[in-house]
Chain A
Amino acid sequence: MTTPTHVANPDTVEMRGVSRRFGDIPAVRGTDLTIPAGQTVALLGPNGAGKSTMIDILLGLTRPDAGTVRVFGHVPSEAIRRGWVGAMLQSGTPLHDLSVREYLTMLAGLYPHPLSVERAMDIAGVAALADRRTQRLSGGESQRVRCAAAVICDPRLLVLDEPTVAMDVESRRAFWDAMRAFAAQGRTVLFATHYLEEADAFADRVVLMARGRVVADGPATQIKARVGGRTLRFTLPPGRDADVASLPGVTAVTRHGDALTATCADSDAAVRALVARVPEARDIEISGARLEDAFIELTTNEEVPA
């Protein structure tokens, strides 16, 4: 079996100071990302955060304007050539005029140490589609075939860019069950998502991106506490904002006219205290923080260069 020549550095992925602009728009701005072998990492962020660009740079599909990328100590194309990296991206359909089995057999023939086609089809749940021509697959079926294509090289690093985007709830669960089993064999997995629940359920570590930067990086529970809080919205004439801000469980307060929004780390404590101490608050609503709101809050203090 092949082993990486770079034994001194056990990290699977090492990205340093990576930047990329598209025209005037900076997609990724001087970002670092290091992933040790065996971790399952979620790259979490709203649309336009730079997740896909990071993944494209990691895979060598996009050249960074600045910064360095190493995958198992090699440039991405070399790691791919050795069959260490499997990827499932958002775009692309399998080549036409082949059956699913033929398409996967063809791909397997390109790699130095592939899985068997049957095993790849099992993992992705496409065994029943083996003899179907690729152009006759539905969107969801085609997505699962692309998943089989991503694992066929028996990768040590599996990269998934919003893999469940077109799936219904049931297929989404089946997909993550399969991926969990696959990752349990010591593989490293990096997946991009904008679902906090998905990151929470599947990843050991969550890297939060907003506006091309990593704004938070840690265990899923920690990130969840930070961005997954609830908000209280209610009507309250101006005058007692400071009292609201000092209530237990409240982390921040913002006002729009008579409407006050309190961001909470502990919404239960906050709502009890609010009712007791600020009885003039009316029309109280409790809602889960939308991820986008959390990102905006995490990045509001930061200047936005043109």
Chain B
Amino acid sequence: MNSVAFTRYELLRLVRNRRAFIFSLIFPLILFLVIGTSAKGDAYGVPYKEYYMVAMIAFGATMAVLSGGARIATDRAAGWMRALRLTPLSVGAYLRAKMASGLFLALISVVLISAAGLATGVRMGWGPWLETVALVVVGLLPLGLVGITLGHLGTPESMGPIVGGLSALLSMLGGSWFPLSGTLESVGKLLPTYWITRAGPLAIQGHAWPGTAWVVVVAWTAGAAVLAAWAYRRSEGRR
């Protein structure tokens, strides 16, 4: 219950620090409006515009959840992790608040780009759209944990380039920047970003996530949880 109060102020801090995230909201939106609405043809069996809308949601949401965890670096630099242990708030609740703030940003990205899609003639239907959003959230879970790992390893100054670079890499290799085929696609299928991006076309075609998608996301979540725990112990465990 005290973690709810903390999360509220965490969101307030997030909103006050707009400069840090405004780019991650605007950039995918502009890409969608410029590229998504002008490209012709199909991708993953659906019209390009529909593929690209969910691809840009995936790109924006990836940036958002990575930066949510990365904001831990700022708190660490202020000496907060020691102060935290002098309060009844658990470390778990603190990390969940960071995940929640990243997810909150991701959902803003979802709403913005979906609205842009609707305005430019994407017709997805509520069912497939809701299914897509739900799968995006599931696929973001391991990425949020990766963000928490980064936040415990880096400094506040290094977080911008690291989050930007890693989001770009994961999005490109996951097929959010352009649809993948051949070898590149078989590599991409190992990334959660690929399955977040594919969630849209699959839902539109009436398909569910295949078993591979679940295996990849669960494996990434387990791996990222181990990494995050290691990073936490590395920075806070020496006491």
Give me the interface of A with B, judged by CB distance under 8 Å. Answer: 56, 59-63, 77, 80-83, 85-87, 89, 91-98, 102, 105-107, 109-112, 149, 153
Contacts and interface: CB of A to CB of B under 8 A. Distances in A.
Given A92-B80, A96-B74, A96-B78, A80 B86 contact: yes
Contacts of B80: 92, 95
A82 B239 CA distance: 22
Given A63-B239, A83-B88, A106 B16 contact: no
Given A61-B239, A91-B79, A98 B13 contact: yes
Interface string B1-30: 010011001001100110000000000000
A146 to B, nearest CB: 8
Given A89-B82, A106-B5, A81 B13 contact: no
B85 interface: yes
B166 interface: no
Contacts of B185: none
A80 B78 contact: no
Nearest to A57: B239
Contacts of A92: 78-80, 82-83
B9 A102 contact: yes
B38 interface: no
Contacts, number: 73
Interface in B86-115: 86-89
Interface residues of B, number: 21
A281 B9 CA distance: 70
Contacts of B74: 96
Contact of B87 (A60, A91, A96, A110): A110
B174 to A, nearest CB: 32
B6 A97 contact: no
Contacts of A109: 2, 5-6, 9
B239 A111 contact: no
A89 to B, nearest CB: 7
The list of the 8 closest CB pairs from A to B, nearest first, reads: A92-B79, A109-B5, A97-B13, A106-B9, A97-B16, A81-B88, A110-B2, A93-B78
B87 A98 contact: no
A111 to B, nearest CB: 6
Contact of B82 (A61, A102, A153): A61
